[in-house]
Amino acid sequence: LAGLAVGYWDDIEEIRKLWKVDKQFDQEMEPAKVKELTKGWQRAVNAAITWADDR
């Protein structure tokens, strides 16, 4: 969007016309593994929040 601000593109429609999918990534991880990792990530986020609140 910075290109719009400096006049590189005229409008959003010009960007839409130029955009194309280069790569597509599909989920291959088992749902149970996703759930496990997400739970661990959430624990880490909560720990960081708690740590920040204690400072």
What are the distances in angstroms from CA 29 to CA 8, 9, 18, 25, 26?
40, 39, 32, 12, 9
pTM of the predicted protein model: 0.50
Average pLDDT over residues 10-39: 96
Condensed to tens digits (0 to 9), the pLDDT of residues 5-24 reads 999 999 999 999 999 999 99
Whether residue 32 is contained in a domain is answered as: yes
Residue 43's domain spans which residues?
28-55
Whether residue 11 is contained in a domain is answered as: no
Whether residue 55 is contained in a domain is answered as: yes
Q: How confident is the model at residue 1 (pLDDT cuts 50, 70, 90)?
A: confident
Q: What tokens were used for 11?
A: 């409008």
Average pLDDT over residues 23-44: 97
Q: In this structure, which amino acid lies at residue 39?
A: K
Whether residue 37 is contained in a domain is answered as: yes
Total count of domains within the chain:
1
**Cα–Cα dist 1/9, whole Å:** 9
pLDDT of residue 55 exceeding 80 = no
Residue corresponding to tokens 């601000």: 5
pLDDT of residue 53 exceeding 90 = no
Report DSSP state, residue 36.
H
